[in-house]
Amino acid sequence: MTAVLQTAALAVGYGAGPVVSDVSLSVASGSLWAVLGPNGSGKSTLLRTILGLLRPLRGEVSLFGTPLARWDRRTLARRVAWVPQAFDLDAGFTGLELVLMGRAPHQGGWGLPGPRDLAVARAALAELGVSHLAGRVVSQLSGGERRLLLVARALAQEPALLLLDEPTAFLDLQHQAQVLDRVRSRVRGGLAAIAVLHDPNLAAAFTDSALLLRDGGVLGQGPSSELLEADRLGHLYGLGLAEARTETGHRLFAPRGTP
């Protein structure tokens, strides 16, 4: 089976020198990855490089067995979707209009939605429980509601690989769990997803594999169930962590106190 995403000795950054080097990753369909690491460790930069928004400084990225450089934007957009970290839209589109933009790579150049596009967009809104935002103007919504619409847009794009940059930022606890739960059920259906997360508890609860980034390199990668433990995460974030298990078997991590 070809990996959906494969990187070899990848170094990413903005020209002044790599932010992260030596990322060799193989993501298969049907798997949900967490990317964890302190602020500035290059998590978003890695996602943006995989998406082709940044050139790799060194190493290789291939998607579905084809080198990244050989993909044209439109074809790539039919296979890979991105939920950006920052979202600052002033333009006044409605929720449904925004989600329909996820259909753009599948439509003709002029983007007139067909019945299937509308059905897919509405299903994505319903999947995230935000159908009531369809007619609302996005610029008047809360940060969390916008985030849910962006995830809905990415799902409406019907990708094979989904890149989520802090999908849980701005979300309340219920919606954090809801978004990751929805993504995970899509992953059970064959999607590959990589999510930048800041909460190791969410990563432990929802993801299959994890990539830990620190100090310009990879601190560890592998199955979340083995990789995510208190000592390693404590090293990752530079503070002492305590680990506990709930009665359902979930691992929980909490700071021991001021480092």
Structural tokens at position 38: 């302190």
Residue reference for tokens 């009665």? 247
- Smallest distance, other proteins to C-beta of residue 63, A: 13
- Rounded Cα distance between 143 and 150, Å, is 11
Tell me the CB-side half-sphere exposure of residue 253, using CA atoms within 13 A. Answer: 21
Neighbours of 125 (CB within 10 A): 24
Asked if 131 interacts with other proteins (CB under 8 A), we say yes
Asked if 207 interacts with other proteins (CB under 8 A), we say no
Question: Among residues 97 and 229, whose Cβ is nearest to other proteins?
Answer: 97
Q: By the 8 A CB rule, do 179 and 207 touch?
A: no
Residue reference for tokens 């809104």? 125
Asked if 104 interacts with other proteins (CB under 8 A), we say yes
Asked if 157 interacts with other proteins (CB under 8 A), we say yes
- Please identify which residue in 15, 65, 109, 257 interacts with other proteins, judged by CB under 8 A: 109
Residue reference for tokens 């969390």? 144
- Smallest distance, other proteins to C-beta of residue 19, A: 17
- Smallest distance, other proteins to C-beta of residue 113, A: 7
DSSP state of 215: T
- Smallest distance, other proteins to C-beta of residue 216, A: 23
Question: Among residues 57 and 163, whose Cβ is nearest to other proteins?
Answer: 163
Question: Among residues 24 and 185, whose Cβ is nearest to other proteins?
Answer: 185
193 contacts: CB under 8 Å, gap ≥ 6: 31, 32, 33, 161, 162, 163, 164, 183, 186, 187
- Please identify which residue in 8, 177, 219, 239 interacts with other proteins, judged by CB under 8 A: 177
Asked if 151 interacts with other proteins (CB under 8 A), we say no
- Rounded Cα distance between 74 and 242, Å, is 46
Size of the site for other proteins (CB under 8 A): 50
Residue 99, φ and ψ in degrees, nearest 5: -65, -35
Asked if 44 interacts with other proteins (CB under 8 A), we say no
Query: In the complex, which residues of this chain contact other proteins (CB under 8 A)?
Result: 48, 51-53, 72-78, 80-82, 84, 88-97, 100-102, 104-105, 109-113, 118, 122, 126-127, 129-132, 134-135, 157, 174, 177-178, 181
